[in-house]
Amino acid sequence: MNQVLEWLQFVLAPQMINGLSIGVAVVLMALGLTIIFGLLDVINMAHGEFYAIGAYVAVAILGLGLSFWWALLLTPVLMAALGYVTERGLIQRVFHSKDRHTLTLLLTFGVAVVLEDVLKIIFGANPLRIESPIPGGTEMLGLFFPNYRLFVMGMGGLVIVAVWLLVFRTSLGAMVRAAAFDRYMSASLGVPVSRVYAGTFAFGVALAGVAGVLLAPIYSVFPTMGRDFVLIAFSVVIIGGMGSIKGAVLAGLLLTQIQSISSLFISPVWNDPLLFGIMVLVLMWRPQGLFGKLGHA
């Protein structure tokens, strides 16, 4: 009995807490993806690259001699600007064609190819490291937790709550939901639809950027860092339901918990197949994902 308790306290609990800190970042990524899809019907294949750019922007800001907190503050702003320009300059151009699903997916895929090489040219292909801004750890319940991971959890949780409030409790969010539900009707009611589109895309990109900054001190920063991470985010979005905010949060936390607990028993190599298996099972049971689309629920 004692052994079981000890196992729960010293093996399972830390693993779950670690999973939670990554889970929060995954949710941020998935939120960006799902909001962009829910409103614009665009699968943003460049989302992983935007995540990587977020981390690199933080590296660059630190390189200027500013502190990590400035990086955390400035990165979303810069990323939002990048997202706005991308939407206005590129996505808008193919948005009104008949098969925009495929074209926008291909377009963002092309953007991803270009961005990855741009990162390689500017920063080189080698991994860079960021010093943890809050070193040390805290003891709780006889366990030792790295301070920074606790901070990531708190910060990520705050951002998620803020996104929720923004979308469901403000007039700006109401505009976004209205545009997602029926863009012609909302346009005739005075919603500046094309600006809402660009703004939403920018917002989603900024969320990816925040995830990049938050995880930069935990993992190292390299040009293809987004590729594996975005696969988790895509699975989360598919399981939670494309365009569903609730789905992204719940599925994100659930999947990362499954991942971190299962890695106690099986080799981490099997993490992705496990994730994928869950995704396929969910799709067989509910092809539209667990929850409905933005503006429809």
Partner 1 sequence: MPDPHISSPRGPSALRVFTYLFFFGALCFALLAKWMGDVFFLRLATEALIFGGLALSVDLLLGRVGLLPLGQALFFGLGAYVSALVLKEWSASFWLSMGITLCVCAIAGLIGGVIAIRAKGVYFALISFGLAQVISKIVFNTRELGASDGIIGVPAVAVVPGVDSGDPLGFFLVTLVIILGLYVGLRYLMETPMGRQLSAIRVNEHRVPFLGFDPWRFKLMAFVGAACIAGVSGALYPMLRGFVSPELMFFQVSGNAVINVIVGGTGTLIGPLYGSVLLTGLRSVVGSFTAHHQIVIGLLFVMVVILFPRGLVGYLAPLLQNRLNLPTRNRGEL
Shortest gap between Cβ of 157 and partner 1 (angstroms)?
27
Closer by beta carbon to partner 1, 61 or else 282: 282
Shortest gap between Cβ of 205 and partner 1 (angstroms)?
17
Q: In terms of Cα–Cα distance, which of 145, 118, 117, 132 is closest to 219?
A: 132
The four Cα atoms 111, 294, 193, 37 give a dihedral, to 10 degrees, of 10
Cα–Cα distances (Å) from 120 to 19, 62, 78, 117, 230, in that order, read 30, 19, 19, 5, 19
Closer by beta carbon to partner 1, 22 or else 42: 42
Measure the CA angle with vertex 157, ends 62 and 82; round to 5°.
45
Shortest gap between Cβ of 268 and partner 1 (angstroms)?
10
Shortest gap between Cβ of 23 and partner 1 (angstroms)?
19
Question: By the 8 A CB rule, do 163 and 245 touch?
Answer: yes
Under DSSP, the state recorded for 87 is I
End-to-end CA distance of the chain: 46
Residues 235-254 that bind partner 1 (CB under 8 A): 235, 238, 242
Residues pairing with 139 in the sheet: 144
142: three-class secondary structure by DSSP: coil
Backbone angles phi, psi at 126, to 5 degrees: -80, 145
Closer by beta carbon to partner 1, 168 or else 276: 276
Shortest gap between Cβ of 244 and partner 1 (angstroms)?
14
Contacts with partner 1 by CB under 8 A: the residue count is: 39
Alpha carbons 145 and 151: distance in angstroms, whole number: 11
Closer by beta carbon to partner 1, 87 or else 116: 116
Contact between 193 and partner 1 per CB under 8 A: no
Closer by beta carbon to partner 1, 72 or else 231: 231
Closer by beta carbon to partner 1, 133 or else 272: 272
Closer by beta carbon to partner 1, 224 or else 257: 224
Which spans in 65-128 are helix H? 68-86, 92-95, 100-123
The single residue among 60, 227, 263, 292 that binds partner 1, judged by CB under 8 A, is 227
- The contact pattern for partner 1, residues 134-153, with x = CB under 8 A and - = no contact, is --------------------
Interface residues with partner 1 (CB under 8 A) are 37, 43, 90, 93-94, 97, 99, 101-103, 105-107, 109-114, 116-118, 120-121, 227, 231, 234-235, 238, 242, 269, 272-273, 276, 279-280, 283-284, 287
